[in-house]
Structure 1
Amino acid sequence: MMLKNRQEQKEIIKAYNLLRKPPSVIFYTTHKCASVFVNKLLSCITKNSDYRLKNYSSAIWSLGNQIDVGSPYEDFLEKAYDRLYKTKGEIYAPQRRPLDFPGRENFKHIFFLRDPRDVLVSGYYSFGYSHKTPKAEKQKQKFNETRVKIREQGIDNYACEAAINWLLPLYDKYRELLETSDTHLYLTYDEFKDDTTRFIQKIADFLEVNVPEKEIQEIANEASPVQQNKDIMQHKRSGLSQQYLTELESDTIQKLNETFAEVLSYWNFPI
């Protein structure tokens, strides 16, 4: 009888141990919002807790031509949610596009967002110049075609088009995800830039993780949000806030202010 029940016993023990872990977390953000820093921070969080960090987007990117899950990846992730997302003990990050699936509202949610007008400026230089090309051939071809188009458009035309097709739907969907989540934390890029130590501590407190002060300070010191010398071919170009005021034409800024009026108000960005 003992041999017969051994597998069931293992499954019960595994389920028991899983339930003792903290609630899983989805860390929502956008492109060009301190992703390198986020990975370092969350790696530190997992080192000091029972959490495990899962970066599915990076894993799919690294697979290259081995599989074709389509683009955006979230369509695949949502279909396979029951295989990929556990309710306990994991941090899924960074999640740069809206992701929703049955039971998602029970996860802890962190929203780390930057002023969409600054995201557009950084996105132009990133997708147009500095961002690495995908490993998968099909995605690489599409990426390069888009890169040529972005350069030909120029920053102002790109910003107006991408605002409608990319960022407005993204921030609106993030609002829906926040309002339907049981537990959430919202942080802005400026909070990270202006007081990185406090920013880290807020996340640690929200996740109920005790991170040694020395490690918090080390991560904060390495963050260096703002770059003194701008280089359009570098992944981290400037890190400045309100760069759109000097990078974009006044007419473009006015259009973006109108497009993002509700977004700016809801997420508490300066209008």
Structure 2
Amino acid sequence: MASTGGVKNYYVFTTHKAASRFIDALMRDIAIGTGLELHAPKHPGFPREKELERDPSKLTVTGLIGTLRYAFMPLDWEDSHIMLHLRDPRDVLVSLYFSHKYSHRRSSEGFNPSSDSLNELDKGIDNYVMFRAPQYLERYNFYIENMLGKENVTFSRYEDMVMDFEGWLPRFLEPYPLRNRKGFIAKQMKKRAAQFELDGSEDVTAHKRKAVPGDHKEKLEPATIEALNKMFAGPLASLKYEV
């Protein structure tokens, strides 16, 4: 077990459609590079994230914990380190539509939308984005009010990761007690940097559909963008996204 300098746990919080699968893969390597035990939502015995929103006390593991896509405060958060990785919520909502419409497989334990949700999805992207927006506004407000700016919280932006992976990676890794930091970063650059050589092309059926920031400007009607800008005015300002 690597020395953690008094930190009890390392949590990673994010949201859907913020490259959470990429963060999952990176965390598996971080676990190897630190010796910390990794606990993730898809691991056997890990509580469902929706249950943790209602009752954080159900989370009793220690080590490297995440990637968590639902907002809650761990009971030991003051003695732990939290990584908060977020994306422009307007782009999150656009990506959510394409994922749910074209690429996301339905399952009883995962994406299993109600008939009402499917009806809203079939009405088009602008309708679906506004249908899902209140849920994400609540989640972003929670993160900002409870985590952003705290001494034991590191804030990471999806856009920085996508547009400047070489600069983003050391900042993201800084809190973790890596045994060979320089070597780990070099290995990750060689292993993952090519994923962020983006040309703006798009495949609506792929999980990684486009990735370029600002997609909402191309996909949504001006009235929808204006409504989202008003709804998310607080989070957009706090997270330094342009309106």
Normalized against structure 1, the TM-score is what? 0.78
Return the offset for 1:181.
4.6
- Aligned residue for 1:268, secondary structure, equals coil
Larger radius of gyration: 1
Task: Output the aligned Cα RMSD.
Answer: 2.8
Q: How many Å separate the matches in 2 of 1:106 and 1:127?
A: 37
Partner of residue 9, structure 1: none
Structure 1: state its 5+ residue gaps.
Answer: 1-13
Q: How many Å separate the matches in 1 of 2:219 and 2:206?
A: 17
**1:103 equivalenced with 2:76 (yes/no):** yes
The aligned runs of 1:160-171 (5 Å cut-off) are 160-164=130-134, 166-171=135-140
Normalized against structure 2, the TM-score is what? 0.86
> Identical aligned pairs, as a percentage?
22
> Does the 8 A contact of 1:227 with 1:239 survive in 2?
no
Aligned partner of 1:258 among 226, 230, 238: 230
Moved more, 209-218 or 258-267: 209-218
Partner of residue 88, structure 2: 115
Supply the AA of the counterpart residue of 2:155: Y
User: Relative to 1, partners in 2 of residues 1:52 and 1:181: Cα closer, same or farther, differing over 3 Å?
Assistant: farther
Return the offset for 1:251.
0.5
Q: How many Å separate the matches in 2 of 1:106 and 1:125?
A: 38
Return the offset for 1:229.
3.3
Question: Matched residue pairs, number?
Answer: 240
Q: How many Å separate the matches in 1 of 2:161 and 2:219?
A: 22
Partner of residue 207, structure 2: 235
> Does the 8 A contact of 2:4 with 2:177 survive in 1?
no
- Aligned residue for 2:50, secondary structure, equals coil
Return the offset for 1:147.
5.5
Structure 2: state its 5+ residue gaps.
Answer: none
Q: How many Å separate the matches in 2 of 1:243 and 1:228?
A: 10
> Does the 8 A contact of 1:27 with 1:94 survive in 2?
yes
The aligned runs of 1:147-226 (5 Å cut-off) are 148-164=118-134, 166-179=135-148, 181-209=150-178, 210-212=181-183, 213-224=185-196, 226=198
